Amino acid sequence: MIDGKKVLFSGMQSTGSLTLGNYLGALKNWVTLSDDYECFYSVVDMHSITVRQDPAELRKKARNLLTLYIAAGLDPKKNCIYYQSHVSGHAELAWILNCFTYMGELNRMTQFKDKSAKHADNINAGLFTYPVLMAADILLYQADVVPVGKDQLQHLELTRDLAQRFNSIYGDVFVVPEPYLGKSGAKIMSLQDPTKKMSKSDENPNASIYLTDDTDTIIRKFKRAVTDSEARIKYCPEQPGISNLIEIYSACSGKSFAEVEAEFEGKGYGDFKLAVGETVADTLKPVQTRFDELCKDKAYIDGIIKENAEKANYYATKTLRKVQKKVGFPERIR
């Protein structure tokens, strides 16, 4: 705990561009959590290089992501918003935790299998030990809670196992984190394949709404969105395409599914798609306006990067020094 608050950690990779799914499913909810938690929100750029990246593009995307965190409403005075690569403790703790992780545990990680299939020409050790770095991200700040989706639950379980294993040998060193079970965000699916989550790495640009898409682009993408053959605006499993659009409209308008169905009863998909597009564009406009303002204020963003990196390093170092002492590393002479 920090100043009487439980600690919460989360982060996003600095690859691709943030989508409407990222915003409604996670980022929008993050904004409210700082009232109850001491929050660390990382731009996890170290994770990004398990896949080859263009260096200039990675730096640009990392800065854009950090700026979007703030544009979406995260207060950098109340939340620690920082680059993972600016805190060397992430890598240092990951190495120590590697030595407490069994090969069999990593072999069971389903994301390694999935990513190996997608990047068969670059199956590197970092891709294999990615979950250990994720564990270090969380344990470094003694996080009590971690918001995770179903695809990351396996990694959080490994984090908990490593914390308990280390504690059983050396005493109570790490807080054993719990999954955050508060209000979950909307689950937004691809506009072109509603059986898959909307993804910032989707190769089809029409499948995702990006936070920086202009109004015309947003409306055009919704007009092309996959729907269903029943031609009725009803939320049900048999209509995944239209149900996804109802979920999006509901999340942006604040209306219940029943209210959405009533509003568009007797109307066609064309009218509904246009309404969804316009509502999403209106929802994202304040974020986009703030993002543009922040991008022009280089000194302000640079100051946030420096100040938050110092804060993150302070708390990371406290944990790291304790761990280093426990495993027997020589004390540093200051």
Would you name the residues annotated as active-site residues? Answer: 115, 197, 200
Q: Rounded to whole angstroms, what are the CA distances from 44 to 90, 91, 105, 221, 248?
A: 10, 12, 23, 29, 27
Q: Which residues contact 193 (CB under 8 A, 6 or more apart)?
A: 207, 226
Question: 144-181 burial string, b = 16+ CB within 10 Å, else e?
Answer: bbbbbeeebebbbebbbbbbeebeeeeeebbbbbeebe
Q: Hey, what amino acid is at 265?
A: E
Instruction: Tell me the C-alpha distance between 80 and 84, whole Å.
Output: 11
CA angle 309, 310, 316 (to 5 degrees): 85
Q: Rounded to whole angstroms, what are the CA distances from 150 to 78, 193, 256, 261, 305?
A: 28, 19, 24, 28, 30
Strand pairing class (145-146; 79-83): unpaired
Instruction: Tell me the C-alpha distance between 247 and 2, whole Å.
Output: 36
Q: Hey, what amino acid is at 136?
A: A
Tell me which residue of 245, 29, 3 sits closest to 148, measured CA to CA: 29
Residue 264 has a CB neighbour count (10 Å cut-off) of 20
Instruction: Tell me the C-alpha distance between 193 and 227, whole Å.
Output: 9
DSSP state of 17: -
What tokens appear for 118 in the block?
A: 């997608």
Instruction: Tell me the C-alpha distance between 325 and 179, whole Å.
Output: 28
Q: Please give the helix or strand (H or E) that residue 154 lies within, else none.
A: helix 153-170
